[in-house]
Structure 1
Amino acid sequence: MCEHLLVSLSCYIWVRTQRIVEFNEMEQIKHRIVEVNGIKMHVAEKGEGPVVLFLHGFPELWYSWRHQILSLSSLGYRAVAPDLRGYGDTEAPPSISSYNCFHIVGDLVALIDSLGVQQVFLVAHDWGAIIGWYLCMFRPDKVKAYVCLSVPFWPRNPKVKPVDAMRAIYGDDYYICRFQEPGKAEGELAKNSTEQVIKNVFISRKPGPPILEKEGMGFNPNTSMPLPTWLSQEDLTYYASKFEKTGFTGGLNYYRNFNLNWELTAPWTGAQVKVPVKFITGDLDLVYTSLGTKNYIESGAFKKDVPNLEEVVVQEGVAHFNNQEAAEDVSNHIYDFIKKF
């Protein structure tokens, strides 16, 4: 009994020590506001050397990359992670169309230029990954190599708009379809605390398409689940503190531009992405396990659309937020890939 208590105490002390060390390192991350593409953008950065640009998804922030910022900056890189347009401490234009792919990529090109470099290593997750593919397609000269998490390249289907296709496959309650009407999703989310909403999304581990209940926006019906080891209460509190100020409209507006992006990118129908790419996903990821994504990757179609796709990594037992859940593994994969260039 005493031996068991000593082991438990030792583990607790080790975990607390690690968190104190990480907290001290987090304090060394620099924060600043830069003017890009007509908006003020908040940027977090640490380190010196070649730039690694990190793009977050929904409902996330620069903070989603906290582990990778510390890891890559310790390995001789300058880690840069903005709050994307509409998130956190970055400005949120009121117009829905201000969140289309050209506006967001315009922000990123201006940000890269402001860093005083010609090219960056790009690392992106979720909606950040989608924007990352647009950046690679529109301005491949700005990207040395791309480490993409969760969302592979989605080639444009000239015959059907993406939201129309999703609705035809999964119905009106598929989460992306439910996000389309301005104000409706915000009203549903407001029925719960901001902290509860973020926790609900982050801890969901159900593979397959997220079909929401008729009433409510819960991704995970078991709201009493404890926080996973990779998400502390301090982490959750930080996310909630930012979204309580901004709301979720900025992030939701990205989804409301799916069909507009489809219209705007007609000239790129059939275009390939030719930058070097490494793709990382979890086998429980809701994207990997829906919309035919797994078959698209395994059939070779992904490689056809992205001819310089060098590696696909499928992490066993890992869900959608793999940059946080499997942080060390993801950091190692990023470094192993970009150090070749």
Structure 2
Amino acid sequence: MEQIQQRQVRVRGLNLHVAEIGTGPKVVVFLHGFPEIWYTWRHQMIAVASAGYRALAFDLVGYGLSDQPPEPEKGSMDDLVTYTIALLDVLGIHKAVFVGKDVGAFPIFQIAVVHADRVTALITLGIPFMLPGPGAFQAHLFPEGFYIRRWREPGRAEADFGRKDVRTVVRNIYILFSRSEPPVAGEDQEIMDLVEPSTPLPPWFTEEDLSVYASSYEKSGFAYVLQVPYRSMTKDCGIVDPKIAAAALLIMGEKDYAMKSPEMVDYIRSGKMKEHVPNLEVIFMPEGSHFVHEQFPEEVNQHILTFLKKNGI
């Protein structure tokens, strides 16, 4: 871990917290989900750097140790695209392999469509091809207590989270999201009520790991991360008939709670994604959760490196 260098990089008037390791000519850029930060990719960064690549991960704008954009309540998924491309420009990186999970997959898909010349290949975990817009979350398909429906309500998650300290909020979300059942609150519950205080962390996630995440979110808070993605994911990104030419890999944990959605499973298994991403490979990890890259880092590392080698990258 001490080999990974961290710094603040000024991008479009804001400081982004960037972590980097490796000096190879080919660059792999990692984008995280929620409640993650750059640190979620620590195992993968070291692995690809050891294989001769330059690995770069950063706290998304508004997340962790990166600055909040002005008027965070007006943020959109387009922000993530804008700041990712701008960061690469500042660093002098024209083209990269993009790896994204959860929230971090959305800007990668957009970049691969509208900035195709910047993408060598793309790898996503837990999220099949999807763009922001009305179809990104269809509320009527989910129960009222489903966490995304709750978090899309202005003020509701803020009140729920505000009953706990930041460390407990992050702890609870990691516990909930690592389960195979989706987080759904009862009528008289909030999402934070779904975790008993005595519940242990997943065995692959330590108290020390939790401290890294919690200290970052103590700085950023949750205002922007609730806006982007949850409250802005259905805003139309304006892309019509998207196609991605680059080689792509999707890694899905079969015990990821997202796999409980019949529509998601059908979309992944039916091959419908290949209408938009024809050069797509899908790998299922039978015991993998929503955090498969932290749960089984060596396996995920091997899948990434095998994919890169197979595609001559």
Corresponding residue number in structure 2 for 1:232: 206
Work out which of the residue numbers 204, 225, 248 in structure 2 matches 1:277: 248
Equivalent residue letter for 1:284: K
Q: Indicate the larger mover: 85-94 or 49-58.
A: 85-94
Counterpart in the other structure of 1:42 = 17
8 Å Cα contact 1:201-1:220 kept in structure 2 = no
Whether the 8 Å contact between 1:86 and 1:250 is mirrored in structure 2 is: yes
Q: 2:81 aligns with which of 71, 85, 105?
A: 105
| Aligned with residue 218 of structure 2, among 244, 252, 258 | 244
Q: State the distance in 2 between where 1:222 and 1:115 align.
A: 44
- 1:55 paired residue among 31, 48, 53: 31
Query: How far apart, CA to CA, are the structure 2 residues paired with 1:302 and 1:195?
Result: 37
Partner of 2:155: 183
Decide which moves more: 209-218 or 288-297.
209-218
C-alpha displacement of 1:33: 1.3
Give the partner amino acid of 2:203.
T
Query: Percentage identity across aligned positions?
Result: 36
Q: Aligned in 2, Cα 1:148/1:46: closer, same or farther, shift over 3 Å?
A: same
**For residues 223 and 319 of structure 1, what CA distance do their matches in structure 2 show?**
21
Instruction: For residue 30 of structure 2, give the secondary structure of its aligned residue in structure 1.
Output: strand
CA change 1:235–1:226 in 2 (3 A) is: same
Aligned length: 307
CA separation in 2, counterparts of 1:203 and 1:171? Answer: 20
State the alpha-carbon separation in 2 of the partners of residues 289 and 173 from structure 1: 15
Secondary structure of the corresponding residue to residue 18 of structure 2: strand
Are the equivalent residues in 2 in contact too, given 1:174–1:212 (CA < 8 A)? yes
CA distance in 1, matches of 2:308, 2:284: 18
Q: Which amino acid aligns with 1:170?
A: F
Cα-to-partner distance string for 1:67-94 (whole Å, 9 max, x where unaligned): 1111111111111000001111111124
* TM-fit CA distance, 1:330: 0.9
d(CA) in 2 for partners of 1:318, 1:232:
18
State the Cα distance separating 1:220 from its structure 2 match: 4.8
Give the equivalent residue in structure 2 for 1:128: 104
Structure 1 unaligned blocks of 5 or more: 1-25
1:308 pairs with 2:279: yes
Residue number in structure 1 paired with 2:299 = 329
AA at the equivalent of 2:226: L
CA drift at 1:151: 0.6
Report the TM-score when normalising by structure 1. Answer: 0.84
> TM-score by structure 2 length?
0.91
Q: Secondary structure at the match of 1:258?
A: coil
Once residues 176 and 306 of structure 1 are traced to their aligned partners in structure 2, the CA distance between those partners, rounded to angstroms, is 26
